[in-house]
Structures are given as C-alpha cells and as structure tokens.
Amino acid sequence: MRKRNAVAIGDRQERILEIIRQKGKTTVKELCDTFGMSIVTIRNDLTFLEEEGLILRIHGGAIAVQKKDEGLILPFDVREERNFEAKQKIAKAAAELVNDGEVIFIDGGTTASEMRYFLADKKDVTIITPSIVMTYWLAVTSNLSIYVLNGFFKRDSYSTVGTPALDLMPQWNLSKAFFGAAGFTIAEGLSDLHTGYVEQKRVIVQKAKTRIGLIDSSKWGTLSLGSFAAPDQIEMLITDKNTPAEEIEKARQIGIEIKTV
C-alpha cells in the first residue's frame, strides 16, 4: 500500500486554510474544483483543520474562525448554516405547536427564523416578530398576519432590536413565544449575547402564556451576556438528539418539558 505524502497533504491543508481566511467562507464543492480532489478527501482536510481549531465546519463547507477578542457576531447566513439540519428539525417541531387562530411571537435568531418554512399552511395566525427574514418570506401568505417589532435594525441578524413599545403591551395576548438563544444553563435559563436582544425578549417573556426555547445541542451549558428567561419561566425546550441525556434530565427535574428531535 502506498503511503500518503504527509508533506503534500500538509501543503494542501495550508492552502485550504488560506482560501478560507481570505474569503471568510467556502464550500466543499469549491474546494474539490480548486484542488481536483474527491469530496471525501476535502472533508477529511476540513475535519483536520477544525480539530486544530483553525476553522469551523458548516453545512456544505467551512468558515474562518472568529477570534474571541474581536467581539463580533457572525453574519446571519453563516450562523444559519451551523448545525443546519438540527435547526431545521427543531423549527419544524416548533411550528407543529402553532394552532390556527393563535397570536405568537417568533424571535429573530437563526433557529427560530427557520420556522418560516413550516408556517404557510396555518390559518389566521398573527406573528409578532423582529425578524425581517421572517417578514419577507411570509409577506405573500395572506392567511398570516405579521407585526414587526419596533427597534434598531441589526444587520448581522436581519432583525430589529430593543425594548418593544410599552404602549402596545396591553393589546397583545400571546399564546406562545418561541425563543432562540445563545445559551441555556440550569441555573440561569436562556441567555443571549446582545443587550438589545435580551431587553426585547424579557418583555415578551412577561407577555406570553407559554415560553418555548429552541436550542440545539451546542447551546446547552453555555451562559451568554444576559439572561432573558429564568428556568421557572420556560415551559418547554426543543432540542436535537445530540444533547447530553444528563442535561435533559436535569431540565426535566426542574419542570421544563423537553422535546427532542
């Protein structure tokens, strides 16, 4: 059996890393075309680079690693592709909880925004959301009413941020609120990484009858900048099958219903 040329492989991985750093993002197909290598080989290269902490794998490709001291948030379309399959399954399960005639809140996070693909058949549902993506996608769906929250437009999330207008609060009768989050812990509940998101969600938590967190397995055990929903304010969490069983059991023990997809 011929041994692999370690030097040549190292050179290719270094070139792949350079491409990703220059472009910020690339796909497996683009790399296959560039290097004339198989999908399996390129995926192995990306796996190696990720294990070395040099890149992050996303659905169909990879992105450059963001330095922690930069204090930036990855663009919406890049974050949307991370754990893409899990987010789609979580969003579908969340949409199935929406009943005709309800007034609901859906936040502007990448997981919650995936619900837009599964709501078109609902009847007489009013959606309150900060998400411009959600609003644009469902604008042609006449059986849905959409109220866009006031606030500053945030480019990295394609949504508005800030505390909703207080004079509108008495008019809202929210049956369910669906929240994405940057993290969830048993002690602090759901948290997010921008004060605008936190302020907005804290208000909605107070208005909703049922609060539902949409968090994939990568968010468990993570505490972000500010908590917006304490554990006793959360009725349900929808997560994916990769979430550790012991974490799920802890959440159930404090009274949170867990739906795993």
Q: Using an 8 Å Cβ cutoff, are 200 and 162 in contact?
A: yes
| pLDDT one-digit tens code per residue, 190-206 | 999 888 889 899 999 99
Q: 182 or 100: whose pLDDT is higher?
A: 100
Q: Decide the pairing of beta strands 103-106 and 125-129.
A: parallel
Q: Decide the pairing of beta strands 55-58 and 61-64.
A: antiparallel
Q: What's the topology of domain 6-65?
A: Arc Repressor Mutant, subunit A (1.10.10)
Question: CA separation (Å) from 258 to 49, 212, 218?
Answer: 34, 10, 16
- The mean pLDDT of 128-136, rounded to a whole number, is 92
- The mean pLDDT of 207-220, rounded to a whole number, is 94
Name the percent of the chain lying above pLDDT 90: 53
pLDDT score for 77: 62
Residue 91 in this model has a pLDDT that exceeds 80: yes
Is residue 148 classed exposed, middle or buried when 0-12, 13-18 and 19+ CB atoms within 10 A define those classes?
middle
Q: 209 or 50: whose pLDDT is higher?
A: 209
pLDDT score for 75: 60
Question: Per-residue DSSP letters for 29-42?
Answer: HHHHHHHT--HHHH
Q: Does domain 84-260 have CATH number 3.40.50.1360?
A: yes
Q: Residue 90 and residue 212: Cα distance in Å, rounded?
A: 11
Q: Residue 44 and residue 110: Cα distance in Å, rounded?
A: 27
Q: Using an 8 Å Cβ cutoff, are 115 and 187 in contact?
A: no
- The mean pLDDT of 239-251, rounded to a whole number, is 95
Q: 72 or 17: whose pLDDT is higher?
A: 17
Residue 81 in this model has a pLDDT that exceeds 70: no
Q: Residue 29 and residue 16: Cα distance in Å, rounded?
A: 12
- The mean pLDDT of 41-46, rounded to a whole number, is 91
Residue 95 in this model has a pLDDT that exceeds 70: yes
pTM to 2 decimal places = 0.72
List helix spans (H) across the chain: 6-23, 28-35, 39-51, 76-81, 84-95, 110-113, 132-138, 195-207, 245-253
Q: Decide the pairing of beta strands 55-58 and 103-106.
A: unpaired
pLDDT averaged over the chain? 86
Task: Pinpoint the residues of the chain covered by CATH 3.40.50.1360.
Answer: 84-260
Give the pLDDT band of residue 4 (cuts 50, 70, 90): very low
